[in-house]
Amino acid sequence: MTPRSAVESVESEAETSWGKFSSIHDSVFQGKESDARVALVTYRFCVGLELDETNVLRVIILCMRMMMACNYDKADLDVLFATALANLRTPWTSKLTARMGQQERMLVTLLHIYCAHSMVFDEFVPLSVWHEWLFQSFCSRKTMNVALKKVCMLSNWRFMVQPETLEPILEELRGEIRD
C-alpha cells in the first residue's frame, strides 16, 4: 500500500466512523436541540477510548444529551469529558479496561463521567437520575452503586486532574474540524 492510499484509507475509515456516529447522534437527539461542536467533542471522546459499537455510542451520546438538558455551559462539558478521559487513561485504569468488552468499558466510562461531573459542577445530577437515563437497561441501582464504589476505590477517591494533564486532552477534544 502506498503512503497516499494508506492516508486515503484512514480518511475513509474516519469519514465512515463519523458518519456512523452522526447517524446515531441524530437518532438519540430526535429533533431535540443539539450542537455540532458538542457532538464532535463527544465523538472524539469515544474515539479516544476506542468505543465504536452502535449501542455503546448511543448510551455515551445519551449521556451528553442528559448533560445538555441540565443547561451546563458547553465549555464546562468539554472539561467534564476531558476530566473523565484523563482519569480513564491513567495506567491502572487503562490496564483494567483493556481487558473489558465494549459494554463493560462503556459502563465504567459512564461511572467515570459521573465522578468527573461531581467534581466539575457545583450542582450535579443525582446518581438515581443517571441510573434512570443511562444504567437502567444494564443493571440494578444496587449493582450500579457497588460498581461506583469499586471505581472510587480503584481511583483512590481522586478524580481531580491537574491543568497540565487536562489541557492537552481539552485540545484533543476541541481540535479544529478538518475539511
**Per-residue pLDDT tens for 5-20?**
433 443 444 556 888 8
* Residue-level pLDDT at 36: 84
> What is the dihedral sign for C-alpha 135, 139, 145, 147?
negative
Q: Which amino acid is at 146?
A: V
| 149 touches 114 (CB < 8 A) | no
Residues 6+ positions from 112 with CB-CB distance below 8 Å: 84, 87, 88, 93, 151, 159
pLDDT exceeds cutoff 80 at 85:
yes
Q: How confident is the model at residue 154 (pLDDT cuts 50, 70, 90)?
A: confident
Q: What's the predicted TM-score (pTM) here?
A: 0.84
pLDDT exceeds cutoff 50 at 33:
yes
CB atoms closer than 10 angstroms to residue 2: 7
* Residue-level pLDDT at 145: 96
Give dist(CA 140, CA 145) in Å, integer.
9
**Mean pLDDT score, 70-87:** 94
Residues 6+ positions from 27 with CB-CB distance below 8 Å: 58
pLDDT exceeds cutoff 80 at 32:
no
pLDDT exceeds cutoff 60 at 1:
no
Q: How confident is the model at residue 3 (pLDDT cuts 50, 70, 90)?
A: very low
Least confident segment among 16-20, 23-27, 30-34? 30-34
Higher pLDDT, 20 or 82: 82
94-152 pLDDT tens trace: 998 999 999 999 999 999 999 999 999 989 899 999 999 999 999 999 999 999 999 99
